[in-house]
Amino acid sequence: MTNDVSVPAQCLTMADFGAFERRYRLYHRFPSLTRNDAASTPVAEGWVDECRPAMGVSLVGSRLTIHHTYETHALADAPAHVSIIVILEGSAELSHGGQHFTLAPREALMLTHAGQQTLSARHAGGQRLRAINLTLLDTARTSHTRLATPLAELLDNAASEAWRLSLPEGVWLSLEEWLNAPSEETQHALLGEGLALQLMAHGLAARGTPPRKDRRLGVRDRHHLARVRECLHEHPEASHSIEALAQLACMSPSALRDKFRQAYGQSVFECLRQRRLEMAHELLREGYSVQYVATRVGYRHASNFATAFKQRYGLSPRALHQRLPLPGAVNTP
C-alpha cells in the first residue's frame, strides 16, 4: 500500500497480515478475534508503505487506525538483523530477550536480533499509529559499503541488545516528511536511503554508551520490584510517591529508580502512566464517561487526562467514546 493521502485508505484483515508474515518470518496474534473473522473484520485501516533503498535494507512507514489489538512475533528461524523502531503517534509495546519496552510518541528504539531470543510487539486497538521501522539484514553489508563495518560490529557478536535513541529535531522533521511523501516519487526513495543512514548513525552513537550490564538484579531485587509494579498495576488511581514505593521495595529511592528501569525498560512513573492510560482505554471502551474514567485512573483534571491519552493513542478520550456503538444498538449492513 501507499501512504499517499490521495489514495483511499485500505482495510487490513487478519488474512492480509499473512503477506507480512511470509516476507518477514513472523506471525501475528489477534487476541479479540477468531478464525471466522479472518476475511471480513478489519484489524486496521490506513496506509503502509515500504521503501528498499538497497539490498537488505527496508524502511516501512505506517499510518494506521487500529481497531483490534494485534501482536507480532518473530519466528525462531527469523534472520539476524538490526531494527530501529520510531513512533511518531500512538504507542507500541516491545519484548526482546526478556526486556520490555513501551514506546510513546517521539520515542525510538534500536535493537539487534541474533535470531535466538524472543522478539515481539503489541499494538493496542483503538488508537492511531504513525510509525517507521528500519530493518537491516546481514546482506546489507555487500549492498551498501557505508553499512558494512557497523553491521559487522552489531551482528557478528551473536548477541541480542536493545537501547533507546535520542533523535535531534531535524531527524524527526525528516521522518515526518518521508512518511507523508507520495511513495512513487524518486524523492521518497532518496529520502529513505538518507534516513536509513541517519538512523544508523544515531543508533551507533547511542550504543557507544549502553546501559550498564555489569550489575545483575538478584532474586530478592526482582521480587521487590515486582511488588512495586503490582502495586502500580492494582492501584493506578493512588497518589504514589517515590519514597513510599522505595519503602515497599526495601531500597532507597535512587536504587528503585535505577533498578526498576533496568528490570522493565521504563521508569517507575512511566510504568504508572502506562497502566493508567491502558486502564482508561479499557473503561472507555466499556462505555464509561470521560470524566468518570479520568477520576477512576487517578487524574485530578480531565484536561490533563485528555492530553496524555491523545499523546499515547492518537485520539482524544471523547473521540474514542463517540466511536462506540450505543447500548442496545444493532449493527446493520
HEC-encoded secondary structure of the chain:
CCCCCCCCCEEEECCCHHHHHHHHCEEEECCCCCHHHCCCCEEEEEEEEEEEEECCEEEEEEEEEECCCEEEEECCCCCCEEEEEEEEECCEEEEECCEEEEECCCEEEEEEECCCCCEEEEECCCEEEEEEEEEEECCHHHHCHHHHHHHHHHHCCCCCEEEEECCCHHHHHHHHHHHHCCCCCHHHHHHHHHHHHHHHHHHHHHHCCCCCCCCCCCHHHHHHHHHHHHHHHHCCCCCCCHHHHHHHHCCCHHHHHHHHHHHHCCCHHHHHHHHHHHHHHHHHHCCCCHHHHHHHCCCCCHHHHHHHHHHHHCCCHHHHHHHCCCCCCCCCC
For residue 65, give every residue at least 6 positions away whose Cβ sits within 8 Å of its Cβ, in sequence order, or none.
Answer: 44, 45, 46, 127, 128, 129
**Top-tier CATH class for 219-323:** mainly alpha
What is the overall mean pLDDT for the chain? 82
Residue 157 confidence (pLDDT):
63
> What is the model's pLDDT at position 142?
75
Task: Check if the beta carbon of residue 49 is closer than 8 Å to that of residue 132.
Answer: no
pLDDT reported for residue 212: 43
Q: pTM of the entire structure?
A: 0.67
Spell out, as residue ranges, where the chain has pLDDT lower than 70: 1-8, 116, 156-159, 182-186, 208-216, 323-333
Q: Which residues contact 176 (CB under 8 A, 6 or more apart)?
A: 88
Taking domain 10-207, whether its CATH number is 3.30.450.40 is answered by no
Nine-digit cell string for 190: 532518496
Q: What is the model's pLDDT at position 325? A: 53
- Per-residue confidence (pLDDT) for residue 328, from 0 to 100: 40
Could you tell me which residues are beta bridge partners of residue 36? none
> What percent of the chain is modeled with pLDDT above 90?
23
pLDDT tens track for 117-144: 788 999 988 899 999 999 988 888 777 7
Question: Would you state the pLDDT for residue 327?
Answer: 45
Q: Where are the domains of the chain?
A: 10-207, 219-323
* pLDDT for the residue 242: 92
Name residues whose C-beta falls within 8 Å of residue 4's C-beta, 6 or more positions apart in sequence: 47, 182, 183, 184
Residue 1 C-alpha cell reads as 500500500
The CA-atom distances, in angstroms, between 183 and each of 17, 51, 53, 83, 204 are: 21, 8, 12, 21, 28
Decide: residue 294, CB within 10 A, 0-12 exposed, 13-18 middle, 19+ buried.
Answer: buried
CA 84 from centroid of its chain's CA atoms: 11
Report residue 201 as a C-alpha cell.
548513525
Question: Given this model, what pLDDT does residue 330 score?
Answer: 34
- Write out pLDDT tens, residues 29-57: 888 888 777 777 889 999 888 888 778 88
**Rounded to whole angstroms, how far apart are CA atoms 15 and 96?**
26
Using one digit for the tens of pLDDT, what is the confidence trace for 317-330? 888 877 665 444 33
